Amino acid sequence: MRDQLDAKDQLILEILQNDSTISVKDIGEKIGLSFTPTYERIKNLERNGVIKKYVALLDRFKIGVEIVVYCNVTLKEQSKEALDEFEKIITPIPQVLDVISLSGNYDYMLKIVANDIRSYNDFVVNVISNIPNIGQYHSSIVMNECKKETAYPFGIKE
């Protein structure tokens, strides 16, 4: 799909990644197209799954989320069934924002949020430690987010 994205599509995506509330008319003006072709390009990017959804990025502190933790998990068994079962259990949990399958020393990295350290401890004791097949888990608490970006860059050289 990447090869099918021309310069105008990439510009549209860059604009929308920075502000998904911008009007189609304003996007068209920025990329040098009228409303209709701009609208059609956006709809095509949505249909093809390049644009998955539109979201609002929140200030976590203003909604009371004080703790972000990256929790590395090693399972006792790594069969396809065991991996699928872990993913089925962990993905619906609201406090778990990301579930990432890894190569290397750990099987998964989880991004978990909590209101405070006590809440995180309760989550570990009552949720994580009760999931079957977890061999080990190691928590790394985020001290400071030096860079936090959601936009994917274009022009990465291969």
Quick one: pLDDT at residue 1? 55
Nearest one of 57, 56, 45, 58 to 14, comparing CA atoms = 45
Q: What is the rounded average pLDDT for all residues in the chain?
A: 94
Q: Is 60-141 assigned to CATH 3.30.70.920?
A: yes
Predicted confidence band of residue 49 (pLDDT cuts 50, 70, 90): very high
CB atoms within 10 A of CB 71: 20
Quick one: pLDDT at residue 64? 95
Predicted confidence band of residue 157 (pLDDT cuts 50, 70, 90): low
Separation between Cα atoms, residue 128 and residue 71, nearest integer Å: 10
**Residue 10, CA distances (Å) to 2, 5, 32, 41, 47 in order:** 10, 6, 13, 11, 16
Q: In the chain, which segments carry CATH 3.30.70.920? A: 60-141
In tens, the pLDDT along 8-28 reads 999 999 999 999 999 999 999
Quick one: pLDDT at residue 2? 56
Q: In the chain, which segments carry CATH 1.10.10.10? A: 2-47
Find the mean pLDDT for residues 122-140: 95
Provide the token pair at 109. Answer: 């990295």
Provide the token pair at 85. Answer: 């079962």
Share of the chain above pLDDT 90, in %: 91
Phi-psi region of 32 (alpha: psi -120 to 50; beta: other; left: phi over 0): left
Share of the chain above pLDDT 70, in %: 97
Q: Answer for the pair 99, 87: CB distance below 8 angstroms, yes or no.
A: yes
Quick one: pLDDT at residue 158? 59
Query: Which pTM value belongs to this model?
Result: 0.86
CATH number for region 2-47: 1.10.10.10
